[in-house]
Structure 1
Amino acid sequence: MDNKKKPLLLFVDDSKVMRLAADKMLGREFRVDVAEDGAAAWSMIEKNPDYSVVFSDLAMPEMDGYALLGKIRNNPDEGIAKLPVIIVTGAENDDEARSRALSLGGTDFISKPFNSTDLLARARAHANYQEERKALARQAMMDPLTGLGNQRYLKHRLGQELALSARQQTPLSVVQLEIHQFNQFFLQLGKRRADMVMMKLAQLLKSVVRKEDSLARTKVDQFTVLLPSADIHGARRFVERAIKVCEKLSFQHRGRPQRLPVTVAVHSPGSSNDRSPDAIQKVLSDYMARAADAGAGTVVGDDDEVSAAGTAPVMGVEQALALIQAGKQRVVINALPDLKRQLMPLLKLMQQASSGQETA
């Protein structure tokens, strides 16, 4: 079997003899990583999502098997939390130790000294189960039309990226793109042609995301992209690329070429914001509502002076003129509803004054 296709296992034991024995017994069918204590093992698990099974001793320095098992089972990442953990017990481990490991979520037990038959049997059974579970999870997180992740996948990945961003103190941005007035677009084209356009749009967006980015179809008319290590300015550059590819996607309606109408929301949650997936989605939904009100082609984001709650500050006419002179027309366009509300009383007063002069 190709070594890259072999399931990956982690064997944790403070005994070098045991680590070497496990590697030798399992190495023909599995890729085997080893760690000498729970702390080293936990660091490896956090960095590698590909482990199929973890074998762990109980009595170890730094972090023992109980603590490692607790960290695995209590992790918010479902992929880590559901890892099969086989406890390797020695003569010093009594029934009470086994019961404690079982209560913490131990999947199975194997006793020292182990032989290759028992070790391989446990590894095969749990690795196969884990692969089947992962396959079902992938299906449950996939959009059947585009082959991209769905809303469930996006929420799962967002939780992972938020945790990584907090741990490494790096920025993270989220971009949502929606088809403007999708119901009208759907009625114009019909289901078959609308589906073809959505599949083509998915392909075009895949062409502009980086390897480390996550792209999902989160609603029937919406795509969401996670941009790890990108601040709001980096997210804006991505939006420019995404809009360019959207402009390439045209379709015929009543004999005339039509461009795909889209609106965009951009958010880069800072350390002071509520960084839960639900809170971030609320901000994006508020931004998207403003973008939809402003019309196709509108982009609303953090740097458009929109608060985290999605409410816009009042923009004065002088401020609007200054922004236009500074080349920030988009900010003014997004604030037009507020400017209109401010100007309406003045326009009415001017009309009244004009009518009074004509009467005089």
Structure 2
Amino acid sequence: MTEVVAQLPRVLIVDDSRMVRASLSKQIRDKFDIREEADGEAGWQALLLDPTIEVVISDIGMPRLDGFGLLQRIRGSRLSRINSLPVLIISGEDEDEARTKAQTLGATDFITKGTPRVELIARIEALVKLAQTRRELEESREQLVRRNRGDVSVMVIQVDRYDDLCTNFGHSVGQLVHRKLSKLLSAKVRKEDTIAHLAEGQFAVISPSADLDACGAFALRLRRAIETIVMTYKEHRIRVSLTVGLASAHGDASLSLEQLLQLAASRVAEGSMLGGNRVVSESGEVTTENVGRFSRLAVSVDHALTQIRTGSKDEARKRLREIVYTLMPLLEFIDNEYHVGIPMAELAEKAQITSLDLHTASAATASQWSGTQWRG
């Protein structure tokens, strides 16, 4: 019987110093399959020829093509397997200028030479997980497009000043914040949504059959929830905030999902430049005043049904008016098709829904009846 041996994730180390490459390889070779190259040009050729590489670790100063040049080529590649690769820039000194330039060019992470082995392995493992998540996300995108005919909305969620947080309190504190946000997102999104880890302190949520108003309302609630979390580190009390960028296939001229993610990320950057702690969509900053009445009233019918089935009828009863409102387009559609005489006016009167509400609900597409609102 042949034993199947699990393949270690392949990591490309690019550094002009043979001693540095040997040192890095020695520290991580029991966890990863290592490929070494001596300069950026050789590293680039390796990426073109070897599709099994999952993470790139690159020095900055090298002959022929330096680390910044290699990073630019990677991010500018037309091959999605290359341009989405996690890149860890490693430098001899913790220089703010080098770190800032690396981040601007699209580096996923930045560390200094001499980083302890345990932390180095943890950082690389996080990048391997990121690469795997992106592959899974790509598969889920294709499924979403087929199932929802392109009617998909995207949120990119960024912890404000995440790098400063790691610099001031340590990478472990940054990871703690990242885990808390991940846990909160998992508890709040709908079962049909997809959560993706894009980078340290940054997530994406891909949502079928959800409009920008619904995404905006959810993002505002998520931002408020994060603001209430206070963490204690030594003598410090740490609070964090979020900036969220929104994009949708409907609102943004039927763009592809990859383009929607890029657009949402650009809106995160726009919000960050304005000071962070805000939600930005195609029409500018989203606030509680302009997020839209439909998104405030709509609820997830799936979630309400689950409450009823599990005996939590009191919880469903608290939002019965909103449930009726959300179902109105479907009930109207059924009545028009089958002519069964559903008492729409009486139902609206009982639920205290105005004619303006009914007009807003009817304007929603049929695909949205099942709930464009997240839990929370």
Whether the TM-score (by the shorter chain) exceeds 0.5 is no
The bucket for the TM-score relative to the shorter chain is 0.3 to 0.5
TM-score of the aligned structures, taking structure 1 as reference length: 0.41
Q: Quick check: which has more Rg, 1 or 2?
A: 1
Which structure has more relative contact order (CA 8 Å, sep 6+)? It is 2
